[in-house]
Structure 1
Amino acid sequence: MIKHIKPYYLNIMAVVVLTLGGIMLELLLPTLMANVVDIGIVNGDINYILKTGGLMLVFALAAIVLMTGVSFFASKTALGFGRDIRRSLFVNVENFSLQAFDKIGTASLITRSTNDVKQVQDVLNMILRMMTRAPLMLIGGIIMAVTREPGLSVVFLGALPLLAILIFIISRKAIPLFVSLQKKTDKLNLIVRENLTGVRVIRAFNNENHEKKRFDAANLDFRDTGIKVNKMMAVLFPVMMIVMNFTSVAIVWFGAVRIDQGIMQVGNLMAFLQYSMMILMSLIMLSFGFIMIPRAKASMDRINEVLKMENDITDTERPKNVQNGQGTVEFRDVTFRYAGAEKPVIKDISFKAKKGETTAIIGSTGSGKSTLIKLIPRFYDVEKGAVLVDGVDVRELPQETLRAKIGYVPQKASLFSGTVAENLRYGNEEASEEDMWKALDISQAAEFVRNKEEGIKLMIEQAGANLSGGQKQRLSIARALIRKPEIYLFDDSFSALDFKTDARLRAELSKETKDAAIILVAQRVSTVTDADQIIVLEEGEVAGIGTHQELLAENRIYQEIVSSQRAEGEGA
């Protein structure tokens, strides 16, 4: 993360220089005050008192100006650093493969991009303002105190090792708890996110009480860990204040003895007492740092884990080019398994989807249909074999070039907050209003959009919460159509449509996509009957390839699927 701080080195240098200047002025004040007492007051020299007092006032005002500058540059650096880290995280996560998403999880990525960055940002601000100031003041205070009264310095020098040991012990015990606290924040975020996105399901099944108990358990666990940390921290400050007060009492006691013996002057004692308070206050500031830094370190480690994570799907150094307008997809003995899985999800899959043809994939739940579709835009890389687009292995194509050839409609319709037009332009930024209405007509979404007063300016809520499942699917299909790709991938994209709308949509699609290759995953037999070839999957392997009539005559698994759906239709 050091490279994110480098752009701010001038600000950091300004902080150090201004802090050093401010501390030097502050360190001179007790000496000037001692001179006022020992020279001005003792000798009754009013002019000296006024002159030195005026100088003290100037020094104090100058120190205030310098420390204000420190706060300005420190805040500017910390906030800029936080902004840069958040952007790096966002950009890195945007380029993640789905495998990397699965490894960390959405809830944890959100926590790392917000809460963890905030922790590191706050600590950087504190380091620049306090942790830069504290060591300089500590060293300067010790030098000034020892210079004025070497004999009395033994009092507070004896207190320093005690405070250092205390800070070390508490910090060592606190670090594991801070790491645990961040993980529990992840869990809380996960539960809250699931409840907010799944609120309809929770209410439909009357599971509010179950979710409350689940949240309470995570919340109490978070609270208990936080209390453990704060109990440790609660010990630190009272002990430090006791040490400080006893040190002050000891200084006054031994200082009074030295004054009584004529070894020391009153002004010197007052100056020494102020220097000792500066030294001990600098230790308190350092202890603040040792409290905050362990938690920030835990956050920093979590951020670095994301920033250092290498994307397992990258463009080759020597990418190949393909001609536009071909639009063919071929699977050659493809085998794939998810990370950590014992056996492959799909195994030895081979087929070819040609331009102007429709290839349908059907099979039981868990047979690997959606996984097969996700290998084409290279959301995952194959374990064995190859996926080819226009005769070139997708691993040898630039991802941008590959995905520009594809119009993908996911199984779960994903829309973004914004207008209908803005969502459609995700497919093609330069799409005209005419293009949008054409895509809406083909996808059978035009009717419900026209019925809205706003038309294509209709605002869609996050994840399309104000639309039905069928409306979301039709808008997702329109978004893919407006792209005018060479390859269409429909991942069970008609499941929320009624049979009549499904039939109309497929009829219109066949006209619009006659020069493209279509690969669609479906559960309904009625959706795949007109396909040029149907691939039947069973437990990740090809159980048959052919037309509807061929499979109906020869393939047992396809016959079972058809008969089960007919029985359901008759029952209905």
Structure 2
Amino acid sequence: MTLIDLAKNFLRAHKWQVVALFLCQIGQVLLSLWMPAINARIIDEGIIPQNTPLIWQQGIVMLIISLLQISLLTAAAYLASRIAMSFGKDLRSQIFRKVQNFSEIERQEFGAPTLITRATNDVVQIQMVLLLSFVIMIIAPIMGIGGIIMTLAQDRYLSILLVIMVPLLALIIGVVMAMLIPRYQIQQKRIDRINTLLREQLSGVRVIRAFGRESYLQEKFATASGKLRQVGLQIGWLWAFLIPSTSLIVGWSSAGVLWLGASRIAAGKMQIGALTAYITYLLLIFFSVMAAGMMAMVLPRGEVSARRIKEILEIQPAIASPLHPQPLPAQPHSLQLRQVSLQYPQAEAAVLQNIDFTVQPGKIYGIIGSTGAGKSSLLRLLPRLIDPSAGEVYLGNIPLTKFALPELRQKIAYVPQKSFLFSGSIASNIAGSLPGSSAAAHQYAVSIPRIKKALHIAGADFVEKLPAGIESKVESGGSNFSGGQRQRLSIARAVYRCLPDTNGESAADFLLLDDSFSALDYATEAAIRRNLRQELSDIAIVIVAQRVASIQAADEIIVLESGKIAGRGTHAELLSTCRIYQEIVDSQGTVVEEENE
């Protein structure tokens, strides 16, 4: 069972807590089985013959047993909750770490909504199954077997009822369980669909309102919600059938025991206390069967969730570190693309073809071309966000695939097309840390001048005018800042990694800017490019741009067209040798003239 496989390693690591839980549960079940026998003795040997000392004696014993039961139940509940919640915490951490290593291929294959559902809803389902397993599954078989033994000890003739009723209960539970499993699978998929629609509508709320598509999307969401409701009702109907049907069987059994027991008492073959104990044991047996039935109802959903989670944990990312990575070169080296081609999965044509391109330390490179020419794809090859379909990317004449991904990406600072900020403060977004422990607080304090310098280079001087400065709050996604402000803060985050730390060493040797000036005015953009050239003179900078003004001062410009290099050289050289570049310049002539003034 997938659920057991998922929990096995965790439970092995917490075996002593599990053992203690088992002992508590076994102890309280044995005490529960002992109580009816004491009660029967009080009735038969105490109340009927009016033996008051025996009643007091056995009453004190029952009180002590009850207190012990309460203590064991409390300890068992605490241990069960602690183990289940710890397992959920570890499982979420495993999923998070795994998803962090996903390449774009795996992210597209699963999609963000289902990954969120699996890391939240599915983990909660497994937690509940584990908790109920510790609370119910341990005691159910012991209580059921113990109850059967004790009923046989009280009266074997009445136990004939068990031969009929227990299999009947098991049959009903088995049929309902078989009908629940496929419905739980459908339910989880429809929850994924709801999350997908909700995420799309929240992300595109401005577009929806601008085009007046509210009614259409409301209908679309209502349809998906209705389908989820439908399968939820089916599951509810099955639960609604199970509870009264099993209660009916238990009621019939109790009535049968009373009827047969009364006749046996009248015949002198059974005592009143024994009948009372027998009814109690019968209820304990039915409770154990019902508990097993409840587990049978919950297990299918937990099993479905476990399979969905295991699917994530077992997938091997298409882009991963080698088993035996090589150390990175000690000094800055060039990045080289040699005969690189790239074709995305299910794509009909390659987005890049036979690209040869070298990025040297201390130089600025520009990449320009029409929309869909492959500019962003080319840039994402450098930090191994994607791997080429053919050819190879090298760092210092060693293929990137030979290096550990975390170490490689530490050397490359990357600003994607879409600026994204994390909730926290401006400082935590730039430096990637917060003052926690005393050591972290010291490191944070040391980083403040570096943070401010990165902000200045990125043209984010507006931060100084904010009341809280670099400690100003950032909402999720940076929604409390404008597009241009988010873009400058994203650039500052990358620049921070390129600046030398207190030891004079910089983390990154390459700065990649993927159309990162698109939301900025020309004066701000020109100031940032001037700052980058002056302050990061030892860093290799690659700028993907739509505007010629953004890359005309670069040491080398690559012109892409339909995934191929159509021209390369300086701005002046391309003006005289590359027709496509000339056309781009002509279309932006006014901008370039203003930039040159």
Q: Secondary structure at the match of 2:420?
A: coil
Residue pairs, 1:70-89, within 5 angstroms: 70-89=76-95
CA distance in 2, matches of 1:438, 1:57: 73
Give 2:494's aligned residue: 480
Give aligned-pair identity as a percent. Answer: 39
In the alignment, is the contact (CA less than 8 A) between 1:112 and 1:302 conserved in 2? yes
In the alignment, is the contact (CA less than 8 A) between 2:363 and 2:539 conserved in 1? yes
Give 1:140's aligned residue: 146
Give 1:199's aligned residue: 205
Q: TM-score normalized by structure 1?
A: 0.95
Give 2:261's aligned residue: 255
In the alignment, is the contact (CA less than 8 A) between 2:549 and 2:591 conserved in 1? no
Opposite residue 418 of structure 1, the aligned amino acid is: G
Opposite residue 19 of structure 1, the aligned amino acid is: Q
In the alignment, is the contact (CA less than 8 A) between 2:11 and 2:18 conserved in 1? no
CA distance in 1, matches of 2:157, 2:328: 85
Aligned-residue CA RMSD (Å): 2.1
CA distance in 1, matches of 2:16, 2:195: 37
The one-character-per-residue Cα deviations of 1:445-492 (angstroms, maximum 9, x if unpaired) are 11x112222222221111111111111111111111121232111111
Give 1:439's aligned residue: 454
Q: Secondary structure at the match of 1:471?
A: helix
CA distance in 2, matches of 1:19, 1:339: 53
In the alignment, is residue 463 of structure 1 matched against residue 486 of structure 2?
A: no
Q: Secondary structure at the match of 2:356?
A: strand
Q: Secondary structure at the match of 1:313?
A: coil
Q: Secondary structure at the match of 2:391?
A: strand
Give the one of 270, 275, 280 matched to 2:281.
275
- Could you tell which deviates more after superposition, 41-50 or 387-396? 41-50
- Displacement of 1:12 in angstroms is 1.6
Q: Which runs of 5+ in 2 are unaligned?
A: 1-5, 435-442, 499-507
Residue pairs, 1:278-297, within 5 angstroms: 278-297=284-303
In the alignment, is the contact (CA less than 8 A) between 1:427 and 1:483 conserved in 2? no
CA distance in 2, matches of 1:284, 1:317: 50
After superposition, the Cα gap between the structure-2 partners of 1:275 and 1:318, relative to the gap in structure 1 and judged at 3 Å, is closer
In the alignment, is the contact (CA less than 8 A) between 1:362 and 1:521 conserved in 2? yes
- Displacement of 1:322 in angstroms is 4.1
In the alignment, is the contact (CA less than 8 A) between 2:585 and 2:592 conserved in 1? no
Opposite residue 526 of structure 2, the aligned amino acid is: A
Give 1:159's aligned residue: 165
- Displacement of 1:568 in angstroms is 9.7
Residue pairs, 1:87-486, within 5 angstroms: 87-426=93-432, 432-446=447-461, 448-484=462-498, 485-486=508-509
After superposition, the Cα gap between the structure-2 partners of 1:56 and 1:317, relative to the gap in structure 1 and judged at 3 Å, is closer
In the alignment, is the contact (CA less than 8 A) between 2:328 and 2:408 conserved in 1? no
- Displacement of 1:14 in angstroms is 1.4
After superposition, the Cα gap between the structure-2 partners of 1:182 and 1:268, relative to the gap in structure 1 and judged at 3 Å, is same
Q: Secondary structure at the match of 1:331?
A: strand
The one-character-per-residue Cα deviations of 1:173-223 (angstroms, maximum 9, x if unpaired) are 111111111121222222223333333333344333333223222222211
Opposite residue 459 of structure 1, the aligned amino acid is: K
Opposite residue 246 of structure 2, the aligned amino acid is: M
In the alignment, is residue 561 of structure 1 matched against residue 584 of structure 2?
A: yes
Give 1:516's aligned residue: 539
Opposite residue 497 of structure 2, the aligned amino acid is: R
- Displacement of 1:170 in angstroms is 0.9
CA distance in 2, matches of 1:44, 1:197: 78
In the alignment, is the contact (CA less than 8 A) between 1:327 and 1:516 conserved in 2? no
- Could you tell which deviates more after superposition, 323-332 or 279-288? 323-332
Give the one of 507, 513, 532 matched to 1:490.
513
- Displacement of 1:390 in angstroms is 2.5
Opposite residue 424 of structure 2, the aligned amino acid is: G
CA distance in 1, matches of 2:485, 2:322: 39
- Displacement of 1:324 in angstroms is 4.2
Opposite residue 160 of structure 1, the aligned amino acid is: V
Opposite residue 549 of structure 1, the aligned amino acid is: A
CA distance in 1, matches of 2:591, 2:535: 32
Q: Which runs of 5+ in 1 are unaligned?
A: none
In the alignment, is the contact (CA less than 8 A) between 1:367 and 1:539 conserved in 2? yes
In the alignment, is residue 9 of structure 1 matched against residue 15 of structure 2?
A: yes
The one-character-per-residue Cα deviations of 1:352-390 (angstroms, maximum 9, x if unpaired) are 122222221112222221111111111122222111122
After superposition, the Cα gap between the structure-2 partners of 1:394 and 1:273, relative to the gap in structure 1 and judged at 3 Å, is same
In the alignment, is the contact (CA less than 8 A) between 2:558 and 2:565 conserved in 1? yes
- Displacement of 1:567 in angstroms is 8.6
In the alignment, is the contact (CA less than 8 A) between 1:328 and 1:487 conserved in 2? no
In the alignment, is the contact (CA less than 8 A) between 2:338 and 2:355 conserved in 1? yes
- Displacement of 1:523 in angstroms is 0.9
CA distance in 2, matches of 1:454, 1:44: 83
CA distance in 1, matches of 2:585, 2:131: 66
CA distance in 1, matches of 2:243, 2:326: 65
- Displacement of 1:412 in angstroms is 0.8
CA distance in 2, matches of 1:314, 1:569: 43
In the alignment, is the contact (CA less than 8 A) between 2:431 and 2:447 conserved in 1? no
Q: Secondary structure at the match of 2:48?
A: helix
Opposite residue 515 of structure 1, the aligned amino acid is: D
The one-character-per-residue Cα deviations of 1:373-410 (angstroms, maximum 9, x if unpaired) are 11111112222211112222111122233222212111
After superposition, the Cα gap between the structure-2 partners of 1:183 and 1:42, relative to the gap in structure 1 and judged at 3 Å, is same
Residue pairs, 1:516-555, within 5 angstroms: 516-555=539-578
Q: Secondary structure at the match of 1:332?
A: strand
Residue pairs, 1:13-24, within 5 angstroms: 13-24=19-30
- Could you tell which deviates more after superposition, 292-301 or 217-226? 217-226
- Could you tell which deviates more after superposition, 148-157 or 58-67? 58-67
CA distance in 2, matches of 1:321, 1:9: 39
After superposition, the Cα gap between the structure-2 partners of 1:368 and 1:330, relative to the gap in structure 1 and judged at 3 Å, is same
- Displacement of 1:38 in angstroms is 2.0
Q: TM-score normalized by structure 2?
A: 0.91
In the alignment, is the contact (CA less than 8 A) between 1:322 and 1:392 conserved in 2? no
- Could you tell which deviates more after superposition, 49-58 or 233-242? 49-58
CA distance in 2, matches of 1:400, 1:231: 51
In the alignment, is the contact (CA less than 8 A) between 2:176 and 2:238 conserved in 1? yes
After superposition, the Cα gap between the structure-2 partners of 1:53 and 1:534, relative to the gap in structure 1 and judged at 3 Å, is same
Q: Secondary structure at the match of 2:68?
A: helix
- Displacement of 1:427 in angstroms is 9.4
- Displacement of 1:325 in angstroms is 4.2
CA distance in 2, matches of 1:114, 1:46: 59
Opposite residue 267 of structure 1, the aligned amino acid is: G
After superposition, the Cα gap between the structure-2 partners of 1:19 and 1:326, relative to the gap in structure 1 and judged at 3 Å, is closer
The one-character-per-residue Cα deviations of 1:419-455 (angstroms, maximum 9, x if unpaired) are 2221111399766332222222221111x11222222
The one-character-per-residue Cα deviations of 1:78-114 (angstroms, maximum 9, x if unpaired) are 1111111111112222222232222222221111111
In the alignment, is the contact (CA less than 8 A) between 1:327 and 1:517 conserved in 2? no
In the alignment, is the contact (CA less than 8 A) between 1:427 and 1:480 conserved in 2? no
